[in-house]
Structures are given as C-alpha cells and as structure tokens.
Chain A
Amino acid sequence: MLVPPVPPFKNGLFCFVTESWAIAPTHAPYLDLCVCVGGGLTFPISSPIPYFGEETSRSTCRGVHFCFGRSVGEARMKLVRKDIEKDNAGQVTLIPEEAEDMWHAYNLLQVGDSLRASTFRKVQTESSTGSVGSNRIRTTLTLCVETIDFDSQACQLRVKGTNIQENEYVKMGAYHTIELEPNRQFTLAKKQWDSVMLDRIEQACDPGWSADVAAVVMQEGLAHVCLVTPSMTLTRAKIEVNIPRKRRGNCSQHDRALERFYEQVMQAIQRHISFDVVKCVLVASPGFVREQFCDYMFQQAVKTDNKLLLENRSKFLQVHASSGHKYALKEALCDPAVTSRLADTKAAGEVKALDDFYKMLQHEPDRAFYGLKHVEKANEAMAIDTLLISDELFRHQDVATRSRYVKLVDSVRENMGTVRFFSSLHVSGEQLGQLTGVAAILRFPVAELSDQEDESSSEED
C-alpha cells in the first residue's frame, strides 16, 4: 500500500482509485481539484463530483492514486448567506479561509457597520462568597465598528467597537476588540451596500484559478523575498548585507561576503516559502546575480541533501529585473516568460494596465487623465474607456468621499467602460496610490482642464 507524498492541498483528502474511477471524499462538492499523485497531473474538476459514499475498500486500489482537494493558493472566502434588501441595507455572512480573505474583509469593513463574530472575552466572575475569578470565554458578540486595524505582515484583522447586542458576559456599550479568525464565520451588516462592496465579495468568493507566486528580487547585497497572491504582495524577508568591493589584489572579502549573502537568501527562501502552496518562484535580478545564486543554492542543496529544494527545482524561474528593490518586482511580473507560465495573475494584469496608461500619456496625453477632478470631468463626457482605481480610496471613512468614488465607478460601468481595481498592497497599486489613486484611459481626446489641480496637490500637503 503506497502512502502518498505530501499533498499539495491544504484540506485535500486522498482516495484510491481503480483504473477508471475514484472514490471521492464525502464533501467532494466543495473540492475543485484532482491531482494524480503519481503522474504529477493536475486538473480542475469541472462538473460536480458524484457522491461515492464512504471509502469502500483499500484493496480496490490499483497503482495510481489521486487526491482531491482545494488548492491552497486558491482557497476562497465562502459566502454562507447574503440578505440584502432592495434599499441596499442588509447583511452577509462569510467564512474567511486564508490570509488573503482577511484583506478582503478589511476592505469590506467600514466604521459604523455592525459585525458579529465569535471571539474570546476575559470575564470576571464574582462568586457569592466574594472571591473573584477570571475566565477566558468564547462568545459571539455583535459590535458597532469603531476602528479597523489590518496588519499586512501577519495578515490579521482587528476590529474594535462597542457591543450592541445583549450578551451573557458583555454589557451593552462595552468595548471589545475582535480579531477575525480563519475558518470561523462572521456576519457583516451595513445600512448601505454599494456596488463596489458587492463586487469585492464576488471577487473574494470567486473560485477562479490563480496561482500563488513567490518572488526573490535581488541584487548584490540586497534581496526581497516576497509572496505574490492575487491581491497582495507580502514582503516576507528583506536581506541587506554589506558586500565589500573588489580591491586590488584582494577579492576574498568580496567573495566571502557574497557567499554569506546567498546563504541568507537561501535560508529565507526555505523559511518563508512553502512549496506546497507556491507554484512558481521567480528569481529576479540584474546581471548574473540570479544565475550565481541559483547555482549556489542548488549546489548547497545537493551538498546538504536538501530534498525540499531539489524536488522543487523546476519551480524556480530566472527573470531579469533592474535592481533588488521591491518595486523591481513589477518588471519581473510582466516579463513574457513569467506571464506565459502563470497565465494571467491579477498582479501582472495590474502592471500591464498601468503600463498602458503611461504609454497613452506619452503618445496621446489628452487621452490619459489622472486625479479625481480630471477623471470625473472625463467621465462626464463619457470618455472613459478604462478606469484604474486603487482600493485604498474605498477604505475612505468619510461617507461622502467614498460615495463619490463609488458613483464614478458605477457611472463608468454604465457607460460601458471597464473598471480595474488595484490592490494597494501590490507594487503597481502602490504607484497608482501615489498618483492620486485614480487614473483613466479615454476613448477619445478630451481637452485638458485649466489648472485646477490644486485639489489633488492640497491633499498631499
């Protein structure tokens, strides 16, 4: 009886097959992938899997075995319930599964919403004798949200607010901070759900195939180890090492420091990249650093008999980048070699859209606008073909400002324009954020406004 190797799935289940059929786990409808463990094939399950019942007998297994599951990089938020009235008030219940889901939740939350989720509360109990005890109790609370705090490194979402529903342990109006937990459902109620919010939920729950990519952007003495998910770029490690220059007749210090540097990068890769999840590791650098590094890494892997690295050797992809700084990741992501291998990741799509904008700005400046006022003006003329907008703007806590952006988005859609939401955690989103957060490529030239840019620049001051 063969025991399958480490499965590439988070909650995958194994089942054993005969030549023609497989025994799927009981909750197969949730699963959307099937991997032939022996042959290394992966294919999505297009039609719902019929229920096979309990695993019949292990003796039926012959040779190859398959495993079913959900690929982790693609784990999606689950929408349990959605009750939204005609007036757009209502609530949704979601189950976040992954770090990225926290990011989506963060983008959905607004001050004034009510959030119901399970949480821990330290409760003091006083017995009849007067002795005081304190217990940590798990309870479900409903809060009126006051502050929202997202830690992008740990991907944790903390929501602080006052209790608005009677509870055995917590008084009404008492403050509490909920830290949303993966795999536990929460309910979010809003007085007003707008199209951008609903889009976000759809996007978060969309089971479309997308890959998790790890990237190492490096130059001599500087490396960033990043994880690129559909809506986030997380810097997992930054390695900065001083490398002495070559000097006349003495290069040993240089060589030694370089080796130490590579060693550290290699350590960081092993520590921060989980090869179960990551489909591809980009090694991007100027010059020969990437080659040198990969040579070093695999030599070391052979020396130390590091199976993990050697088995995943094919996942490493060398691409060119102009420097080892984080924003050079942009160059790596739009490298043709990468895009062909990764299909269309959202990050790469964003990079391309921003590039298009800049190209338009170069060739036909009258067809590329940025800054809210300018873009609105262009929208009035129904000229917007593609709207690039940073999701940062929708986290604006001022309702009026936010609705202004929402209106813009809705109106562009009405006019058959496309809207691209940029994640502010991606490198390109960061850049768009610096560029007032909103930009548009127009269908036809619109005369430029007279110098009214004071608004956008005053924002900056």
Chain B
Amino acid sequence: MARHRNVRGYNYDEDFEEDDVYGQSVEDDYCISPSTAAQFIYSRRDNPPFAETEEYGYKDTEHSNYSVSSHQLTEVEKVQLDSCLDHMRELLGESVPEKVMVEAVLNSKFDVQQALDSVLAQLSKQDTKIKNEDTVISGKATKGKNRDSQTTRIESDVVPKVTKMTVSGKKQSTGFEVPGVNAEENGHNALTPQKGISAGDGSANLGITEVPSKPALSSQTVQALEEQTSAPTPMKKSGKAKQQIDVKAELEKRQGGKHWLNLVVIGHVDAGKSTLMGHLLYLLGNVNKRTMHKYEQESKKAGKASFAYAWVLDETGEERERGVTMDVGMTKFETQTKVITLMDAPGHKDFIPNMITGAAQADVAILVVDASRGEFEAGFETGGQTREHGLLVRSLGVTQLAVAVNKMDQVNWKQERFLEIVVKLGQFLKQAGFKESDVAYIPTSGLGGENLVTRSQSSELTKWYEGKCLLEQIDSFKPPQRSVDKPFRLCVSDVFKDQGSGFCVTGKIEAGYVQVGDRLLAMPPNETCTVKGIALHDEPVDWAAAGDHISLTLTGMDIIKIKVGCVFCCPKEPIKVCMRFRARLLIFNIEIPITKGFPVLLHYQTVSEPATIRRLLSVLHKSTGEVTKKKPKCLVKGQNALIELETQRPIALELYKDFKELGRFMLRYSGSTIAAGVVTEIKE
C-alpha cells in the first residue's frame, strides 16, 4: 500500500505537514477492497446497527499498517517506542490513533512528555477546523459539550435509524477520519483542559449528561462515539462481545423464561410414536377438534381408525395409506416452562436415514416402546429398531431420554410388565452410555391418551405408579447449552421454493446466530448469499440463534446449487470442506468385519454420502484411548479405532474438538448402522 511505503522512507520532519494532508483528504490515497473493509468492520463496532459505516475499516487497516511499520526500527528503539506508547495510551486512551502517537513519539525522539504535548496541540488545532465543518453539516451549534451529549444519546439507545442517517452524511466525512477522532478528543479537551484525565473518564462523565434528541447526526459524531465506547477494551473483542450480549439478552427476552428444546421421538416401527405424539398434540389443543374429527372420519373410512392420531403428524398420502411414518414430521408445542420443537421420526428400518437427520437436530429424545407381549421383544432384539435408535441418538449427542412404555392398556397396566421392560431397557441404555439419572420411564397409552398430559386417574395405574406424566417429563428436561457465541452454522435439511423471490432452506442453527440482512456463505458450493427473511415456526422474525429450527429465505444464489446437507456459515469463519478425513470410530454390533476399502454410507447431520474407508490406522483401547494395535487387518464389533475416510463428493465438516455438534457422524452399510464416529483430523 502506498501508505506503507511512506512510512518506510520516513522523513520525520515532515510529519506534521503530512498529517495535515491526512486530515483534510486522503480519500483516494489508498484503497481497500470491500472484503478487507468487511473484515475489519466488526473490529471497532460496538453496536450491530453501525455495520454500514465503512470508515472503521479504513482506520483499522491504517492502524495495523502503522504497527507493522514500526518494525523498521531497531530493537532498542522499538522497545522505547512501545513503552512510550503505553504511557501515552494510559493518558489518552485508545481515542488517538496509534499512528498519531507513533509519529509524535518518533518526532520527539522518544520523549513522552514532548510527544504528548505535540499530540494535544495537534488535536486542538484540528478541533477548530472540525467545528467549522460540523457547523456546515448539521447546521447546529457545535460546542463540544453539545456534541458530547449527542454522543451519549446514541450510546444509551442505539437505533438503526440513526445509523442510516449517519451513512447519508458519510460522503462528506469519509476523508476525515483522523479529524473525526480528534474532534471527539477535542470534546474532551473542551470539557477537561488538563491532559491528565483519561478518555475513559471522559466517556464515563458523558454517560450522565442529559440528552436532547436529534435525528440528524454527522457521521463524525457517531464515529466519535464509536471510538469512545470501544476505548477501554481491545477492539476486536469488544465489538463482538457487545453483539453477543445483545443476542443473548434478546434470547432471554424472547423466551420469556421458557427454554426452547428440540425433541425427537424414536422407537421401533409400530410402537405408536406418531399416535402418542398426535394424541398429545390434540390434548394440548394444538390440533383443533374439527380437524381431528375429520381425521377420525377419514381414517375410519380407510379402515384404519386407530391411525387417526398418527395422521396429525403423518401428512403425506403415502404415509397415511400405509400407516407408516416415512419422513420426520415436525411441529411445535409449549409446556409450562418450555417451547418444544417436536420431531416425529420414522421407525421403519428403511427410513433410518430420515430418522438420523431428525435425531441429529435434537437435544432430547423420547424412546417409545411397545409394552404388549412379543412386540417389545421384537423391537428389542437384533434387527429391531429399539436398540439401533437408542444407540443412534446417543451417538448423535442426545443425553437425556424419556422412555414411554406405550400400549400399557393392552397389558392391563400390569406393573410386572412395566418393570420387566424397565430392567431390560435399563441395562441396554446404560451400556449405550446413558446415565441412569437422565433416563425416565413413563407408562402410557397413546391411543387411550392415558398419562400423557395429565396424570392418569385410572386406578390400575395409580395403585403402583406415582411418577410424572409424559408432558411433565418433557417439561423437566434440562435445557442444553447452546453455542451462541461460536460462528454461525446451519445444516440444510430441506430446500424448497416459496412464494416471492429467492428460495427457502430449513435447518437447525447449530451455532451462532443470524439476522435478516446478513451475508452467509454456503459450503460446499462456496458461494455467498443474503438472508432476506427468517421464519421460526412459520412466524417471521428478525434474528434467530443456536438451537432454533428456522427457515431462511435467501437471495443472490441459485437454488440448484444448494442441496440438502450444505452448511451455511459465517463468511469470516467458514466451515471446512474436505473429501478425506480421519476419525475415531466406535464399531457397533456388526456381522461382517470392516476392512480397508469398505464402502459405507456416511450420515453426517442431514447429509448421507457414499464414502470408502481408505485406511485402518489403529485400534484404540476402549477407555484409555491408547493405541493397542497399529494397522489392523480388520475391525470387529465393539472396537474403538482410528480410520481414514474418503467421500465421493466434498462435504463440510468440523472437528469434534471445535464443534461437538458438528463433529459427529454415523456409518451405515447395507441397511444397518455399523459405527458411530467423531472427526479428529481433516485432510486436504
């Protein structure tokens, strides 16, 4: 950059002059690409609404250039310079650009006092200039105090409107970044002539002053405000921290004390998952009587009267006709303390891929088992889905589980049967890695609606069961930690066209947050687009954060480039894309051993991609993780191993240690799940 060279061939005597040139117009002297600017926009920004003010970008680059340039000095000089700068910063705060300070220090040959003097003198000189400018722009009285009060006003309640107006004033002011900073400094000076007072104090003072509201503000003032508020903390962090607090606070507000929870319902085919949840929804009033009546009539006509409640969630003709859930049905309901996003997973063996996409998005699960004789056993044996589903959800990160022992009415609510199932399941679930304290067992009847929303009155049950009903259990799930402060990630589970321009994608936000107007990067296609709208359970919202199931309306991208399984992420910290990666596997109960070259289906979040096991690196000890054998010939059931996988197409992945939610995957082979794994290393 041109600036850079200037610094190299420094002629210290000309400093003042040059700075003046700076002060007036350096608009086109150097250029920064929009992307660089975008990169730095965040750094100084305190409040999201100011994102548009581009000046900050410039300033920061300037800033860093300077620190780089100081490397031209000898070691001794550098140290001297640093100590001087520290000293000056203490007095002036961050408000004076480092550049100015460095220049002053160099000028005064590392004499702090002299440097300070020169800086302040320079500031006051420019102040007058700025004042004049300001008068022209705003046409208002421009006393330092007045301006300060404006500043505080913005500080106290920042409204996007203000920003927009400031942007309009930008034209005149882009060139004035340094004076802009100075202007604010001047404000201080006017208030507190002594140089001993720090900027931090100044802003604290300002905070108290009363505010006359003024719609039109010069960008300089806004800028000044920015400078001030960011003064005490290192810039980058302060910018971010502020925004997060914002979202978190908003999150609190939105929830109004209610936690949002993603719940998946799993279990063997025909255990009664859809009926149980359908009935629950009906009892909660989420399905109106008329619709329910219609379903009853229609299902009776179709000769499947018992499926009426399941029809609430099974909506496609195919599902209703066959009486089998095929794809995850999604809906929402509220409990006393929670808002639940319900996902009704299919239980049929062939639809496990669909079930995985549902379970990958869930925080907690309800495992439904059929209590009737033979049915429970069928589901629980190898080949039944009770085991596979249980292992799957655990491997996908679900730790809390409610077991609904369903169809209890068919065994006359017998306690022995209940206990038998509890014991059998308990053993298995413990092996699968569920803590006993995190698993609850509830006897229910989905069709009869017993013990769903209210505790059962039936004497057959109450004489031995005093625990919670299903709804109470759902209510008592512990809300999970959401990684709101991590960079944004959303795995696409569905792509469709909606009315209007653009198209929609749905998915659960795994980390971070998103606002309308944000630019997002889609991986693997590696293209950016803009968020036009966000809908949370079909209601438009302005923002959404980790854990929410949303649908995004996007523009600026072609719909054919987006497939189920793409990941939308924040362009600054994109997700990694690869075809080869290493992973640690836990091998399930498999019939044939896994060797090199094994073709598998990789289920990761919402993707299912064919992949090949390229190398078996080592077998690990189950609990200690030590390598017990290198380069094994094959892997058999129950082993823990390190392997290398290659997919046919690039997929977006994260390391398990960085993003727990996004580092997990499952491997399937000819219709059964053979292993669960976590990503340990991404190869490129």
Residues of A within 8 A of B (CB): 242, 244-249, 251, 253-255, 286-288, 292, 322-323, 325-328, 330-331, 355, 358-359, 361-362, 365, 370, 430-436, 448, 451, 453, 457, 460
Task: Give chain B residues whose Cβ lies under 8 Å from the Cβ of A288.
Answer: 318, 322, 326
Instruction: Let me know if A370 and B322 touch, CB within 8 A.
Output: no
| Cβ-based interface call for B433 (8 A) | no
Instruction: Let me know if B631 and A457 touch, CB within 8 A.
Output: yes
With A245-B493, A251-B315, A254-B316 known as contacts, the answer to whether A435 contacts B596 (CB < 8 A) is: yes
A247–B601 CA distance with the chains assembled, in angstroms: 26
Task: Give chain B residues whose Cβ lies under 8 Å from the Cβ of A246.
Answer: 315-316, 319, 327, 329
A431–B671 CA distance with the chains assembled, in angstroms: 17
With A245-B493, A359-B592, A436-B596 known as contacts, the answer to whether A460 contacts B330 (CB < 8 A) is: no
- Contact mask for chain B residues 327-344; partner A; CB cutoff 8 A; 1 contact, 0 none: 111110000000000000
Task: Give chain B residues whose Cβ lies under 8 Å from the Cβ of A328.
Answer: 670
With A322-B671, A327-B599 known as contacts, the answer to whether A451 contacts B631 (CB < 8 A) is: yes
Which of B40-48, B83-91, B100-108, B606-614 is found at the contact surface with chain A? B606-614
Instruction: Let me know if B592 and A358 touch, CB within 8 A.
Output: yes
A287–B671 CA distance with the chains assembled, in angstroms: 11
Instruction: Let me know if A362 and B564 touch, CB within 8 A.
Output: no
> Closest approach, in angstroms, between the C-beta of A189 and any C-beta of chain B?
36
Smallest Cβ-Cβ distance to A354: which chain B residue: B592
- Contact mask for chain B residues 306-330; partner A; CB cutoff 8 A; 1 contact, 0 none: 0000000001111100100011111
Instruction: Let me know if A248 and B315 touch, CB within 8 A.
Output: yes
Smallest Cβ-Cβ distance to B313: which chain A residue: A248
In-complex Cβ contact of A245 among B327, B595, B596 (8 A): B327
In-complex Cβ contact of B633 among A249, A325, A359, A448 (8 A): A448
Instruction: Let me know if A362 and B350 touch, CB within 8 A.
Output: no
Instruction: Let me know if B592 and A431 touch, CB within 8 A.
Output: no
Task: Give chain A residues whose Cβ lies under 8 Å from the Cβ of B615.
Answer: 457, 460
Smallest Cβ-Cβ distance to B644: which chain A residue: A460
Instruction: Let me know if B326 and A287 touch, CB within 8 A.
Output: yes
Smallest Cβ-Cβ distance to B614: which chain A residue: A460
A175–B610 CA distance with the chains assembled, in angstroms: 42
Smallest Cβ-Cβ distance to A430: which chain B residue: B599
| Cβ-based interface call for B597 (8 A) | yes
Q: Within residues 476 to 498 of chain B, which ones have a CB less than 8 A from any CB in chain A?
A: 493-497
Instruction: Let me know if A255 and B316 touch, CB within 8 A.
Output: yes
Q: Within residues 428 to 468 of chain B, which ones have a CB less than 8 A from any CB in chain A?
A: none
Task: Give chain A residues whose Cβ lies under 8 Å from the Cβ of B30.
Answer: none
> Closest approach, in angstroms, between the C-beta of A318 and any C-beta of chain B?
13
Task: Give chain A residues whose Cβ lies under 8 Å from the Cβ of B593.
Answer: 358, 361-362, 365
| Cβ-based interface call for B348 (8 A) | yes
Task: Give chain A residues whose Cβ lies under 8 Å from the Cβ of B538.
Answer: 248
With A322-B668, A451-B631 known as contacts, the answer to whether A244 contacts B315 (CB < 8 A) is: no
New A-B pairs, 16, CB < 8 Å, besides A249-B315, A287-B348: A244-B495, A246-B316, A246-B329, A247-B494, A248-B330, A255-B317, A292-B318, A325-B601, A328-B670, A355-B592, A431-B598, A434-B596, A451-B631, A453-B631, A453-B633, A460-B614
Instruction: Let me know if B597 and A432 touch, CB within 8 A.
Output: yes
| Cβ-based interface call for B630 (8 A) | yes
A287–B591 CA distance with the chains assembled, in angstroms: 22
Task: Give chain A residues whose Cβ lies under 8 Å from the Cβ of B327.
Answer: 245-246
> Closest approach, in angstroms, between the C-beta of A37 and any C-beta of chain B?
41
A317–B636 CA distance with the chains assembled, in angstroms: 35
> Closest approach, in angstroms, between the C-beta of B577 and any C-beta of chain A?
19
Instruction: Let me know if B610 and A327 touch, CB within 8 A.
Output: yes
Task: Give chain B residues whose Cβ lies under 8 Å from the Cβ of A287.
Answer: 326, 348, 350-351
| Cβ-based interface call for B236 (8 A) | no
Instruction: Let me know if B633 and A242 touch, CB within 8 A.
Output: no
Instruction: Let me know if A362 and B330 touch, CB within 8 A.
Output: no
In-complex Cβ contact of A323 among B353, B592, B595, B631 (8 A): B353
Instruction: Let me know if B610 and A325 touch, CB within 8 A.
Output: yes
| Cβ-based interface call for B563 (8 A) | yes
Task: Give chain B residues whose Cβ lies under 8 Å from the Cβ of A253.
Answer: 496-497
A431–B612 CA distance with the chains assembled, in angstroms: 9
With A253-B496, A287-B348 known as contacts, the answer to whether A451 contacts B630 (CB < 8 A) is: yes
In-complex Cβ contact of A286 among B315, B317, B596, B671 (8 A): B671
Task: Give chain A residues whose Cβ lies under 8 Å from the Cβ of B121.
Answer: none
| Cβ-based interface call for B634 (8 A) | yes
A-B contact pairs, 7 of them (CB 8 A): A242-B495, A246-B327, A325-B601, A325-B610, A431-B598, A431-B599, A457-B631
A355–B598 CA distance with the chains assembled, in angstroms: 12
Which of B351, B496, B538, B630 has its CB near the most chain A CB atoms (within 10 A)?
A: B496
Which of A246, A249, A355 has its CB near the most chain B CB atoms (within 10 A)?
A: A246
Instruction: Let me know if B633 and A365 touch, CB within 8 A.
Output: yes
> Closest approach, in angstroms, between the C-beta of A147 and any C-beta of chain B?
27
> Closest approach, in angstroms, between the C-beta of A246 and any C-beta of chain B?
5
Instruction: Let me know if A431 and B597 touch, CB within 8 A.
Output: yes
A251–B608 CA distance with the chains assembled, in angstroms: 23
> Closest approach, in angstroms, between the C-beta of A428 and any C-beta of chain B?
10
Task: Give chain B residues whose Cβ lies under 8 Å from the Cβ of A355.
Answer: 592
Instruction: Let me know if B350 and A361 touch, CB within 8 A.
Output: no
> Closest approach, in angstroms, between the C-beta of B209 and any C-beta of chain A?
53
Task: Give chain B residues whose Cβ lies under 8 Å from the Cβ of A325.
Answer: 601, 610
A248–B316 CA distance with the chains assembled, in angstroms: 10
With A248-B315, A251-B315, A287-B350 known as contacts, the answer to whether A433 contacts B597 (CB < 8 A) is: yes
> Closest approach, in angstroms, between the C-beta of B588 and any C-beta of chain A?
14
In-complex Cβ contact of A365 among B318, B563, B634 (8 A): B634
Smallest Cβ-Cβ distance to B322: which chain A residue: A288
Instruction: Let me know if B608 and A323 touch, CB within 8 A.
Output: yes
A254–B592 CA distance with the chains assembled, in angstroms: 37
> Closest approach, in angstroms, between the C-beta of B292 and any C-beta of chain A?
15
> Closest approach, in angstroms, between the C-beta of B76 and any C-beta of chain A?
50
In-complex Cβ contact of B591 among A245, A255, A362 (8 A): A362
A436–B322 CA distance with the chains assembled, in angstroms: 45
> Closest approach, in angstroms, between the C-beta of A374 and any C-beta of chain B?
8
Instruction: Let me know if B494 and A244 touch, CB within 8 A.
Output: yes
With A248-B315, A370-B595 known as contacts, the answer to whether A242 contacts B330 (CB < 8 A) is: no
Q: Within residues 380 to 439 of chain B, which ones have a CB less than 8 A from any CB in chain A?
A: none
> Closest approach, in angstroms, between the C-beta of A360 and any C-beta of chain B?
10
Instruction: Let me know if A323 and B601 touch, CB within 8 A.
Output: yes
> Closest approach, in angstroms, between the C-beta of B353 and any C-beta of chain A?
7
Task: Give chain A residues whose Cβ lies under 8 Å from the Cβ of B608.
Answer: 323
> Closest approach, in angstroms, between the C-beta of B683 and any C-beta of chain A?
12
Q: Within residues 587 to 629 of chain B, which ones have a CB less than 8 A from any CB in chain A?
A: 591-593, 595-599, 601, 608, 610, 612, 614-615
> Closest approach, in angstroms, between the C-beta of B359 and any C-beta of chain A?
15
Task: Give chain B residues whose Cβ lies under 8 Å from the Cβ of A365.
Answer: 593, 633-634
- Sort A-B residue pairs by CB-CB distance and give the 3 closest, nearest first: A434-B597, A322-B671, A244-B496
A434–B598 CA distance with the chains assembled, in angstroms: 8
> Closest approach, in angstroms, between the C-beta of A78 and any C-beta of chain B?
36
Task: Give chain B residues whose Cβ lies under 8 Å from the Cβ of A249.
Answer: 315
Q: Within residues 640 to 679 of chain B, which ones have a CB less than 8 A from any CB in chain A?
A: 668, 670-671
A370–B591 CA distance with the chains assembled, in angstroms: 19
Task: Give chain A residues whose Cβ lies under 8 Å from the Cβ of B599.
Answer: 327, 430-431, 434
Task: Give chain A residues whose Cβ lies under 8 Å from the Cβ of B592.
Answer: 355, 358-359, 361-362
A253–B494 CA distance with the chains assembled, in angstroms: 12
> Closest approach, in angstroms, between the C-beta of B49 and any C-beta of chain A?
33
> Closest approach, in angstroms, between the C-beta of A378 and any C-beta of chain B?
13
Instruction: Let me know if B315 and A331 touch, CB within 8 A.
Output: no
Task: Give chain A residues whose Cβ lies under 8 Å from the Cβ of B317.
Answer: 251, 255
Task: Give chain A residues whose Cβ lies under 8 Å from the Cβ of B496.
Answer: 244-245, 247, 253
Instruction: Let me know if A242 and B564 touch, CB within 8 A.
Output: yes
Task: Give chain A residues whose Cβ lies under 8 Å from the Cβ of B610.
Answer: 325-327
A375–B496 CA distance with the chains assembled, in angstroms: 53
Smallest Cβ-Cβ distance to B637: which chain A residue: A362
A254–B316 CA distance with the chains assembled, in angstroms: 8
Q: Within residues 484 to 522 of chain B, which ones have a CB less than 8 A from any CB in chain A?
A: 493-497, 506
Task: Give chain B residues whose Cβ lies under 8 Å from the Cβ of A251.
Answer: 315-317
Instruction: Let me know if A331 and B670 touch, CB within 8 A.
Output: yes
